[in-house]
Structure 1
């Protein structure tokens, strides 16, 4: 798995709708080459619709999407699959499929009638398994993996596809915090060390802030903000877009903005230390 040529992805004047309802309108975006961009926003705001339009799974009613200035609408399907990989939300593998068999599917766009499976294909699969830490699990049934391992297997498939662009729809869905960090550390490695351009939809604001170079905020089908996390994430934006009362403070680990929701359980109103509780109730436990 080697460093790839980076690609710039652009969307111009996108309007997307279906079922008589407009989902996206007036979307103009540039996703810079070699960066991680996180698309955030409330449920139903159009995040996944935007991502699916960016990879041509949905056709816009107006506007266009281009890679390095070349409109996706003019690209053959095989050429597009060699340029960008898309990982949908919570994908499932056929029963009985091994990790290696799943990852090998990423090589399909590189095969033709006259070019079948080759040593290069095998090498790309092996490299993807190594990079994602799955080499020792290559012969395991995908269904027997943990959530984090399973998600890494799907990312390995995308890596075996050997594209410069990687689009991920909620890659941490159903994962606990440890497995989420595991997956996002891998995404960071793909960008920083291998030069991939990554665009992902993610719900967890603090993970998006920590791992993304840029944020795109979608609200009611429009782009409410775009830019580096420290410029985008403000208490005013959180209130306007998410209806959330929160404080934005420096993350003690990364220095990035950290969103601390206020909510009903404000400090000091619902929780007390065990010692304080004992004083009030008189409860004691003697061994």
Structure 2
């Protein structure tokens, strides 16, 4: 039996489809509390569908999802929003909105007709800004920030929501490698230092292996593999799931698996002598 204290999210016999097409077929998962779990898989495999089902944006045709042992279907929307937060892919803020105003939206689940904005809400917003390194940018228009700063602003909103579980749909989309590392370092900090549970969809296999405690590989509507990166990332899995011929070596910096694709060998220009060096020139 799954221990609710050990697992933040669980699924049982999950079947999800839309548009007359089945996307997920009988998915059983148990995602560890206090860990970073990365969901990986080929394009169109159902990664984002799984993530959206975990936060009830999509309803399963069959099966169930539970958060800390409680069925999602039994929770009120406000109660669910106090359990987990969801950050969609490439979100955009309204024009003219400041970072502080955006982050303050994370407090909506904690307010009602009888409980309006309070000192507790203000404290939560300031704490989220500080944790994400955005205090000095709090009064800036979100649209004027760099890609990494904008993504940190959205994560700050999730932190202000004060949930133990964060679901992130491709948080590094459209970011260069430096900003991607900036965002994932923050994710690591939230998990290791603050005890948050993070479940994220990510395309970059090497970043997934570097930052995740556990990997979930989605393939053809099911789970092809699940576990720590060094057990999941193998040459055989890469060939079977991604159609990729690659070597898997140990990252010299982290010791984590590092995927090195094997492609056609390119011949450097220096390997091709210039025609003048061979005498193979032709004069018209």
Question: Which residue number corresponds to residue 91 of structure 1?
Answer: 91
Deviations, residues 220-262 of structure 1 (Å, cap 9, x unaligned):
1110000000000000000000000101011011011100011
Question: Which residue number corresponds to residue 192 of structure 1?
Answer: 192
Deviations, residues 89-117 of structure 1 (Å, cap 9, x unaligned):
00000000000000000000000111100
Following superposition, the deviation at residue 169 of structure 1 comes to 0.1
Within 2, Cα distance between the matches of 1:60 and 1:282? 68
Within 1, Cα distance between the matches of 2:259 and 2:271? 29
Question: Which residue number corresponds to residue 243 of structure 1?
Answer: 243
Question: Which residue number corresponds to residue 61 of structure 1?
Answer: 61
Within 1, Cα distance between the matches of 2:87 and 2:194? 18
Within 1, Cα distance between the matches of 2:62 and 2:41? 22
The question of whether the paired residues in 1 share the 8 Å contact of 2:9 and 2:31 is answered with: yes
The question of whether the paired residues in 2 share the 8 Å contact of 1:7 and 1:197 is answered with: no
Within 1, Cα distance between the matches of 2:268 and 2:208? 29
Which consecutive residues of structure 1, in runs of 5 or more, have no partner in the other structure? none
Question: Which residue number corresponds to residue 46 of structure 1?
Answer: 46
Within 2, Cα distance between the matches of 1:93 and 1:226? 35
Secondary structure of the residue that 2:239 maps to in structure 1?
helix
Structure 1 length-normalised TM:
0.92
Question: Which residue number corresponds to residue 156 of structure 1?
Answer: 156
RMSD: 1.6
Secondary structure of the residue that 2:112 maps to in structure 1?
coil
Following superposition, the deviation at residue 282 of structure 1 comes to 7.4
Instruction: State the number of aligned residues.
Output: 273
The question of whether the paired residues in 1 share the 8 Å contact of 2:27 and 2:222 is answered with: yes
The question of whether the paired residues in 2 share the 8 Å contact of 1:7 and 1:164 is answered with: no
Question: Which residue number corresponds to residue 71 of structure 2?
Answer: 71
Secondary structure of the residue that 1:26 maps to in structure 2?
strand
For 1:141-220, list aligned pairs within 5 A. Answer: 141-220=141-220
Within 1, Cα distance between the matches of 2:125 and 2:52? 26
Within 1, Cα distance between the matches of 2:6 and 2:79? 16
Question: Which residue number corresponds to residue 270 of structure 1?
Answer: 267
The question of whether the paired residues in 2 share the 8 Å contact of 1:6 and 1:196 is answered with: no
Secondary structure of the residue that 1:187 maps to in structure 2?
helix
For 1:121-132, list aligned pairs within 5 A. Answer: 121-132=121-132
Following superposition, the deviation at residue 281 of structure 1 comes to 6.8
Following superposition, the deviation at residue 7 of structure 1 comes to 6.0
Within 2, Cα distance between the matches of 1:271 and 1:235? 27
Within 2, Cα distance between the matches of 1:244 and 1:281? 37
Following superposition, the deviation at residue 6 of structure 1 comes to 8.3
* Structure 1 residue 102 corresponds to structure 2 residue 112: no
Following superposition, the deviation at residue 67 of structure 1 comes to 1.0
Structure 2 length-normalised TM:
0.93
Question: Which residue number corresponds to residue 117 of structure 1?
Answer: 117
